Copies of this chain bind each other. A is one copy, B any other.
Amino acid sequence: MTAESLPPLASTPEPPYWAVIFTNERRPDDPLGYAEAAARMMSLAAEQPGFLGCESVRDADGVGITVSYWRDPESIAAWRRDVEHLAAQAAGRERWYRAYRLRVAQVVRDASFP
């Protein structure tokens, strides 16, 4: 699965599975570097064992929410420690994000429409 092929709404398996909710406010710094890194991280995440899907939205004010879905906490921990991802996390704190919240949650119920 590549990032480009990800649909806006993720199709996930029956719960339980896990979610990482990443809410953030961008700074205006280095928009080109950011866009490239964000696309790369999405592609790289999609290749990780246990990756189930991802949903990502950013509004005109620079506020974004990205939710990635994972099979289990071990998959999330492994992705968190990925070397290229660690470098992007550091760049995010130094240059790209004014503020963020990251929350790890176990999805126990879901519903969809239609």
Contacts and interface: CB of A to CB of B under 8 A. Distances in A.
Interface of A: 8-10, 12, 15, 19, 21, 23-25, 55, 57-61, 63-65, 67, 93, 97, 99-114
B105 A101 contact: no
A96 to B, nearest CB: 11
A112 to B, nearest CB: 5
Consensus secondary structure, chain A interface: strand
Q: Which 10 pairs show the lowest CB-CB distances between chains A and B?
A: A105-B105, A65-B65, A105-B107, A104-B109, A103-B110, A8-B63, A102-B111, A57-B59, A57-B57, A57-B65
Nearest to A22: B111
A58 B102 CA distance: 19
Contacts of A109: 103-104
